[in-house]
Every structure is written in structure tokens, then in C-alpha cells.
Amino acid sequence: MYRNPDRFSIIDPNNEANDIAGGASNTHVVRYEFRQALHLLQRQMGRAAADPAQTSILGTILEGNYDSFYYQRELLREMHVKKFGYCPDE
């Protein structure tokens, strides 16, 4: 807590007076998501403890939908091909 107890603070390492998260107002959403993640990890750890053959909890941490990243990469590849006529990875 730096200035506002209801918000997170991210202090600029080059200027202590600059709270670069000063405008962030979704602290409650961030806290909620962290609570949900904690519950999910605890549940998965319980399953792993009960059944050692259970999938690693690492999958719970890293698993996600990465379609937007793949889509963005494809758009960037298309832009590169359009501008330069080829793509370096082809």
C-alpha cells in the first residue's frame, strides 16, 4: 500500500514518487482471481495427494487458452509476408 489502501501500488524504480499503478481500479477483480487460483491449486494438490498418478499441478498453473496468441502471431506473419514477400520461418 502506497497511497490508496484499496488499490495496488507499483512504484517506479527510477522515481519513488511515481506510482505507475495509480490509475488501476480493478484491485477487487485481481484479488478475486488470485483467490480463485489459490482454490484451484489447493483442490489440485488434494487430488495429487490422494492419487499420485494424478496429473502434475504444473498443468493447473500453466494451462490456458492461448488462441489469442496464436492468432496474433498469424497476423504478424501475414503482415511480414505482405511487406517483405516471405516469412523467415518458412
Does 48 share its domain with 9?
Answer: yes
Does 29 share its domain with 10?
Answer: yes
Instruction: Say yes or no to pLDDT of 82 above 80.
Output: yes
Helices (H) and strands (E) in the chain, counts: 3, 2
Q: What is the mean pLDDT of residues 55-80?
A: 84
Instruction: Say yes or no to pLDDT of 20 above 60.
Output: yes
Structural domains in the chain (count)? 2
| 60 within domain boundaries | no
Does 50 share its domain with 72?
Answer: no
Q: Which residue has the higher pLDDT, 49 or 22?
A: 49
Does 41 share its domain with 70?
Answer: no
Output the average pLDDT for the chain. 82
| 19 within domain boundaries | yes
Q: What is the pLDDT of residue 62?
A: 77
Instruction: Say yes or no to pLDDT of 35 above 90.
Output: yes
Does 7 share its domain with 48?
Answer: yes
Where would I find the H helices in the chain? 27-50, 58-62, 67-84
Does 50 share its domain with 73?
Answer: no
